[in-house]
Every structure is written in C-alpha cells, then in structure tokens.
Amino acid sequence: MSQTFANRPIIKSLSFENLTFCYDSGSTIFEEVNFDFPMDNFAWIRSHHKGSGRATLLQIMAGLAPINSGKYLINEENVSEMSFEKFLPYRLSIGYSFGMGGLLHNKTLLENLTLPLLYHKLCSPEEAETRVNSYMQEMGILRYKDQRPSGVQGSVRKIACLLRPILINPQILLLDDPSLGLGQDMILKYFDLIQGLRQQGLAKHIFISTYDEKLMSLIEYREIFIDQRQLFSSDQGSEKKVVHL
Amino acid sequence: MQAVWAQIDGIGKIVTTNVAYTVRLLLMVYVSIRATFFNQSQGLRTVFSVVSSQIYFTGWQAMPLITVLALASGGIVILQSAANLNLVGGAQMLGHILVAIVVRELGPLLTALVVVARSGTAVASEVGNMRANHEIEALESMGINPLSYIVFPRILGGVVSVVCLSIYFVLISLLGGFIITKLIHDMPFNFYVDSLARAVAFEDVWLFLLKNSFSGMIIFVVSCYQGLSVKKSPTEVPVVTTQAVVKSIIYVIVFNLSVTILFYLHQLSKMGVI
C-alpha cells in the first residue's frame, strides 16, 4: 500500500467559506457561498431546474473544479489552494462517480476498475482482479470485463463507473445521477453494495445528485438545495433562504 | 503614422502571445517532470509501460514510411551531389555535402515532420478526446496525476522515438541512397564510405542529438498541451489537432533554424572569420 493511501485522514467536516465558482464562459454558478455540509448520512443534492450546478458542486467537492474565490474546507483545512500532491490524501478518501463518461477508453472494464487499486498498490494484481470480479459478478456485468467501454451498452458503462469509486473504500462518496440509464433493480443492487460498505464503517458520507425521486424515496437522507447560486440544507428554515435571495 | 503603430502593435501582440505560449509549454514540462519524480504512488513500471507503447506507435510503426522517405531523399541528394561535383571536379567533397544536408538538416527535419503528421496528431486527438470524455478528470479523481501518467511518458517516448527514427533515417538515407545511386551512377563504395567518414565531426553528433531530442520534445509537448486545452466538447478535438500540427511544425522549424545558425556562427568564429 502506498504511503499516501495509508495516511488518509479521517474526514469529519466539509464546508464552503465565501466560495464563488464561475464557468469559463463567465456565468456564475455559486456566489459567496457559506455552507456546512451535512455529514454521516445520505445527502440529496437538488435544484429546481437543470444547469443550476449540481454536477459542478460534486466536482468542486471532489477537487476536480478549481474555485474562483473563497475556501473549500475539509476538516477546517483549506484545500482549494493545495497542489495535486498535497490534496492527494484527501482525494483518496473521496470517491466520485461521473454522470456520463469517465471510463478510460483504451482500457478494458477490468483494467479500468483495477487501475486505482494497482496504481496505489492497494493489493496485488491477483487480489485486485478477484475483488473487481466479485463486484462485477454481484452487479451482473462480469461477462463484459474484457470489453472496452465503447464495446458495451451504456448501462454496463454506468455500472462500471459506479463501481470504480467504491473499490478504494472511500469515506465520502459523490454520485452524479447514479440511476441514469439504469433499471430500478440495478440501482437497488448498487445501493445494497453501498449499505454493505457502510456497515463496515466505509462510505460514511454520501452525496447524491439525481432527479430520481423514486430512488430517493427508499433512502433516508438530508437535503441540500441549490437555488439562486446558494446552497441550503434541509434543516435550514425558509427565513434563512429569504436572506440569501 | 497610425498605420505603422498598428503594425508594431500587431507584431508585439504576436510576439507576446507566442512568448506566453512558450512559457506555458515549459511550465507544463517542468510540472510533468516534477509530478513524475515526486509521485510516491506511480512506479517506474507504470511510466515505462506507457513509454514503450509510445515508442512502438511513434517509432516502430513509422519505420516503413521513414524507409521510403529516406531512400528517396538519400538517393536524390547523393545522385545530384555526385553528378554536379563530378562536373566541377570536386568529388572528394561528396561526404561533406551529404553530412551537411542529410545528417545536419534533412534527417532531423523530415523525421520531425513525419512524427508530427503521424504521432503528433494522434496524441493531440487522443488527449483531446480523453478530456472531452472526462477521462482526465477520472484519472484525477482516482488520485492519478494526468501530467505524470499521460504527459511525461508521451514526451519521453516521443524523444526516444524521434532520436532513434532520425538515426535510422540517416543510415537508410546514406547507405540505401548509395545503393539506389549505384544502379544509375558508377561510384566505388570504398570511396563513398571514406568520404563520409572524413566529413563527420564530433560536433555533428551533438548537433544531430540536440536537434532531434528537442524536436521530439517540442512535438509531444505541443500535442499534449493542445489536447489538454480541450474544455468540454468533442467538436474542439479536430481544432486543437490542427493547431497542434501547425504549432509543432513552426516550433520545430524555428528551433532547427536557430540551432543551424548558431552552429555556423560557431564554425565561423572557430575559423576566425567573425
């Protein structure tokens, strides 16, 4: 196991302090946001309309989208100005699943899924393959393991994309549209896997961005609402929301 | 007068844009080298697997094209040089002319152009597509630095490939070209080899290695940079690929020309002319 992976910090808090994020086009997605993320549970990231920044919020949380100003604090430490190497221990504690894309097209599904395990020397190649095979078997995609992403159906790609972050046993799991292109049975199987991880003390903090109300009706969650370039938590009253508007 | 100032402004803008672009390229090289050597997770094995596949695609697969090009250009240069030198009675200068044209100029330049056309485009479009498909972000999310995993091995593989291809080009050009010439023109082999051996100097080896290694680096740095400059849409990929080709060719030619000028100035200063 690599030194960095072994030194992963225990994540206790996530927060934004006066955070502003704009696209290159100039449109502002978040403006002067102060927010403490609810921890130790599922959190549903919602908004009234598409394009309000749900996926961007997850990317900022994963450290994939550099912010324009303000602070992104993990355990009260500002990580927004950290170099790739300094942020690495935090990054390895965060699993991120893309809404669309994200698999390496010149590698097979098996190679895609074993890549983080082998790169960070978390286990031997044989152990990595066994571990990935068991997850793929559970999700019913084992027969596609030697296929490249372009050779399989979208749903198989999506499952592979959902499996990859949980293989490194993250503390935080960020899921962007997890049910997109998947049947209800598949997504439920996946959530069973996550529950299994949670029982082992992993994937403690899960943030889901989705419009799938049916899926969320099966989960106990707290709400994070994006409105008017601000974030609101479900336990925040409407009075506070008015202040931001 | 205003038109003159506008012209000067235009030139200034071009210069500053290109200087800024060059600085960004150098910064990317520095950061990718730093990321590779400071990365605790990435072993040399990971780097060398990408380097070896890059050498295979850039070096090995380009050999047929380089062979044809080297035979044709070598044959033409030898035939023309031998024919014209014989007319003026300077046949013993053949080696010097071949070294000056093939080793110092043609080899590095034609090899670089072939690599730009074959591999520069491939790398720019590959990296551009990776960017558009969120593959680069996926690597980052897995804690894999794209600069050490994608960029550095491609640059290293590219440099090795261009140097090896160029050596191969020169060998085929000088030996294969002679065989072709032999069919048309009567020239003793011993005379030819002796003439070449007398012409090659130690400085030629340095010049050759300098031109080729930097050309290789320029091509792959520019191609990776252009590929990484894709923001989101796959429609940007052909645009950045074209830009990678144009910029690589310009940078390679400017670099080769600068080195040649410096080399001849050095030669002249050694001779006491300047």
Span B89-118, pLDDT tens digits? 777 788 888 889 999 999 999 999 999 999
DSSP H or E stretch at residue A147: none
How many residues comprise chain B? 274
Band the pLDDT of B258: cuts 50, 70, 90: very high
> What are the tens digits of pLDDT across the range B232-242?
889 999 999 99
Name the residue facing A119 among B134, B140, B144 (closest C-beta).
Answer: B144
Band the pLDDT of B41: cuts 50, 70, 90: low
Partners of A18 in the beta sheet? none
For residue A63, what is the nearest residue in chain B, using CA coordinates? B141
The encoded tokens of residue A171 equal 């503390």
pTM value is: 0.87
Residues on chain A touching B142 (C-beta within 8 angstroms): 115-116, 119, 164, 168
Residues on chain B touching A121 (C-beta within 8 angstroms): 41, 43
Q: Cα(A82)–Cα(A70) distance, rounded to whole angstroms?
A: 13
For residue B133, what is the nearest residue in chain A, using CA coordinates? A101
Q: CB distance A4–B135 less than 8 Å? A: no
Band the pLDDT of A217: cuts 50, 70, 90: confident
Is pLDDT at A235 greater than 60 in this prediction?
A: no
Which CATH fold topology does A3-244 show?
Answer: Rossmann fold (3.40.50)
Band the pLDDT of A4: cuts 50, 70, 90: low
Band the pLDDT of A237: cuts 50, 70, 90: very low
**In this structure, are residues B203 and B100 in contact, taking their beta carbons and an 8 Å threshold?**
no
Q: Cα(B28)–Cα(A64) distance, rounded to whole angstroms?
A: 18
Residues on chain B touching A165 (C-beta within 8 angstroms): 141
| Average confidence score pLDDT of chain A | 87
Band the pLDDT of A213: cuts 50, 70, 90: confident
pLDDT at res. A121 = 85
Buried b (16+ CB within 10 A) or exposed e, B115-145: bbebbbbbbbbbbbbbbbbbbbbbbbbbbbb
Cα-Cα end-to-end distance for chain B: 38
Residues on chain B touching A101 (C-beta within 8 angstroms): 133-135, 138
Is pLDDT at B194 greater than 50 in this prediction?
A: yes
| Average confidence score pLDDT of chain B | 90
Spatial CA neighbour of B166 closest among B96, B103, B116, B89:
B103
For residue B147, what is the nearest residue in chain A, using CA coordinates? A84
Domain positions in chain A: 3-244
Band the pLDDT of B166: cuts 50, 70, 90: very high
Q: CB distance B133–A85 less than 8 Å? A: no
Lowest mean pLDDT segment, chosen from A98-107, A168-177, B214-223: A98-107
Spatial CA neighbour of B94 closest among B69, B71, B77:
B77
Name the residue facing B42 among A91, A119, A168 (closest C-beta).
Answer: A119
pLDDT more than 70, % of chain B: 99
Is pLDDT at A238 greater than 70 in this prediction?
A: no
**In this structure, are residues B127 and B224 in contact, taking their beta carbons and an 8 Å threshold?**
yes
Band the pLDDT of B274: cuts 50, 70, 90: confident
Is pLDDT at B134 greater than 70 in this prediction?
A: yes
**β A172-176/A28-36 pair status:** unpaired
pLDDT at res. A100 = 79
Q: CB distance B141–A62 less than 8 Å? A: yes
Partner A, chain B 26-45, Cβ-Cβ below 8 Å: 35, 38-43
Question: Residue A149 gets which letter from DSSP?
Answer: G
- Given CB atoms, is B46 within the 8 Å cutoff of chain A? yes
Mutate to test the interface with A, among B142, B229, B236 (most CBs of A within 10 A): B142
**In this structure, are residues A195 and A42 in contact, taking their beta carbons and an 8 Å threshold?**
no
- Given CB atoms, is A116 within the 8 Å cutoff of chain B? yes
**In this structure, are residues A225 and A54 in contact, taking their beta carbons and an 8 Å threshold?**
no
Interior CA angle at A105 toward A101 and A107, to 5°? 125
**In this structure, are residues A122 and A168 in contact, taking their beta carbons and an 8 Å threshold?**
yes
Q: Cα(A76)–Cα(A93) distance, rounded to whole angstroms?
A: 16
**In this structure, are residues B88 and B190 in contact, taking their beta carbons and an 8 Å threshold?**
no
DSSP H or E stretch at residue A199: helix A184-199
Which residues contact residue A49 at a Cβ distance below 8 angstroms, ignoring those fewer than 6 apart? none
The encoded tokens of residue A62 equal 């994963």
